[in-house]
Structure 1
């Protein structure tokens, strides 16, 4: 489907607004094609394949960011990731970016309010990520994803969610003015599959040992164990 001058202008404005660059606006345009449009117009491709790709890129960027920046154990990271890449989280971002105004829908979906349905908006967000990954590569896609994922993660923590080590330190320092002391008791297994055994000392009390596949995660688990005694 050949783009009109007006559509090209709309897509270029969108790129400027969200900080991305497309040489081939036709690729970006496809990201806005809901399947209801292609059901009604022969020969028009929908955004489902791009959504499939974008979902994977979104997941990888988010998981990598959480791993590099947080000390929380795997269970916490999984919960945070699930929250920030969810339909509930992505749909408001899509509205903020003006994606609802650029969606191309079939008549039936348009009439049923599809332009503001959270599932359609979130799917389009993922399709745009997929299209941008194909256009500009992983690093560019990563930068775009982090522009809205990073604030979402920070928002979760601003609501009072803290990792176990931080919680333990705050509580223990308030009580004793001292810091928890973590001890690596042993490290076993080959380099590619090690197990770390850690305990945490709070004065004359010791919690653990606990085991995990990384020292960071083992320390978090030890802190969690100690918190249960507060």
Structure 2
């Protein structure tokens, strides 16, 4: 953890918060400890406000553009990118069945980490960490396209529509597995995907669909 703190440029006061932020529910249920989900809820809001502040002060374009850019910069794929630069996955505590952290888990932990910083050191420290670990990589986010966006752009060339049908299919309440199907024109099944969130399941469905209609996906 010391290496992570150095990357973040912080000196924690309450290290338990950071350990909780990096503890997945699978590990928590196996070991009777706290997990990151409540911190994730708070961290999402913390990152939203810091990103909004940054864009407002550094981008003079209109509200519509800023809203779109913020959404692009705080979505799962972007958070995963920021987390990868910290090698955050190496610090996660996972249960026996979760030894390889999924993208959604790593992104969630990144949000939880910002909540821990906010609660432990205050909003100003969260702003400083944001400047250090997010801002340098924002240009990469601008060119980062998720699978749903790629599929939508490809299908739009033929002036056709896509619809997603997402259902909860299995798993315990603390770790549900969702299934998503993506349809062309509401009738033709293009792909299916599983995920620990509806968003992840839809992304995996879009990825499968792209692998069928576009080479090298």
Q: Does 1:98 find its partner at 2:84?
A: no
Q: Contact (CA 8 Å) 2:8, 2:133: kept in 1 or not?
A: no
Question: TM-score, structure 2 length as denominator?
Answer: 0.62
Which of 12, 17, 25 is the equivalent residue of 1:22? Answer: 12
Question: Would you say 1:83 and 2:68 are equivalent positions?
Answer: no
User: 1:179: which partner in 2?
Assistant: none
Partner Cα separation in structure 2 for residue 158 and residue 24 of structure 1: 37
Structure 2 residue 52 is matched with structure 1 residue 67 = no
CA contact (8 A) 2:82 2:134 kept: no
Q: Distance in 2 between matches of 1:118 and 1:158?
A: 18
Residue 136 of structure 1, CA deviation: 0.4
**Correspondent of 1:141 among 116, 120, 126:** 126
How far apart, in 2, do the equivalents of 1:63 and 1:17 lie?
A: 23
CA RMSD of aligned residues (A): 1.8
The answer for unaligned runs of 5 or more in structure 2 is 145-217
- How far apart, in 1, do the equivalents of 2:138 and 2:31 lie? 40
Query: TM-score, normalized by length of structure 1?
Result: 0.58
Q: What is the Cα deviation at residue 155 of structure 1?
A: 4.1
Q: Report runs of 4+ in structure 1 exceeding 3 Å deviation.
A: 152-159
Unaligned runs of 5+ in 1: 1-10, 160-230
115, 120, 123: which one aligns with 1:130: 115
Greater Rg, structure 1 or structure 2? 1
How far apart are residue 61 of structure 1 and its match?
A: 0.4
Structure (1 or 2) with the greater helix fraction:
1
